[in-house]
A and B are shown apart, each in its own frame.
Chain A
């Protein structure tokens, strides 16, 4: 519990589960959820290094806040793109979104 490697492994496992979700899902919202999981794995890593190694504990927390803000922006943009795609294609399955295919 008070060991850096525990948190690093938890972060890596969260990131891997998110990667699995991005690779196997075909639902765009499902992929967005998996990307959120990946961002959280990275955040756990930042906070673990901040707790155990960093010279100043504020820096890791600021980075984590920054990533959270980026995740919020990404969710807003992604969801609006999903809505636009659904209105155009009547589906959010990414295998239907092939209009740009050459």
Chain B
């Protein structure tokens, strides 16, 4: 396992080095250009995330909300790529965009007819909600800038999936078991909740 870990990280490092070499040797691409290209792509991903998030919150049609949620989640997956974890980005696409969004679409289909008119929002409530979330946002940004973040003194550079699996089965096996139990209870609870009410109402 150690060997495999090392080979993974080695190939990763080689890939990075190879990328740099290609960008240095390329005729059209110098490292500055690739850097600015990555920067532009990053801000496009951030724009997609926030566009999707505002689309998920502001329109009153619930179908637009779900589509915006899918867009925002895909944008967050792109952010995970920039944060160095391909595996988590893949899991984000698989679990959030693939499973949760689809189940929300099912709930919309099963619950209310879409052609009914949605009641308008009350202005004071919206204003108070905006004020509350703005206060929270400004507080969080203030904390970000006031704190001087210190990185850990010796940081390991093992980003491989093998290391995650190893950790999940040794040091963090409680996490693994607890999440399995939670998912089992959630599935049984969902079946019981949806099934019993059907029996009662019919």
A residues apposed to B, CB below 8 Å: 1, 4-5, 7-10, 12-21, 23-27, 29-30, 32-34, 36-37, 40, 43-44, 47-48, 50-59, 61-62, 64-66, 68-77, 79-84, 86-88, 91-93
Residue of A whose beta carbon sits closest to that of B135: A16
B window 98-125: CB within 8 A of A: 99-100, 103-104, 106-108, 110-112, 118-119, 121, 125
**In the complex the two chains form, is A37's CB within 8 Å of B88's CB?**
no
Question: What residues on B are CB-neighbors of A21 within 8 Å?
Answer: 56-57
Contact with A along B185-197 (1 / 0, CB 8 A): 1110111011011
Whether A36 touches B57, Cβ cut-off 8 Å, given contacts A1-B82, A27-B62, A69-B183, is: no
B26 at the interface (CB under 8 A from A): no
**In the complex the two chains form, is B88's CB within 8 Å of A75's CB?**
no
Question: What residues on B are CB-neighbors of A5 within 8 Å?
Answer: 144-145
Question: What residues on A are CB-neighbors of B87 within 8 Å?
Answer: 61
**In the bound complex, what is the Cα–Cα distance between A11 and B141 (angstroms)?**
10
The one of A9, A12, A17, A51 in contact with B83, judged by C-beta atoms closer than 8 angstroms, is: A51
Whether A54 touches B152, Cβ cut-off 8 Å, given contacts A9-B144, A40-B73, is: yes
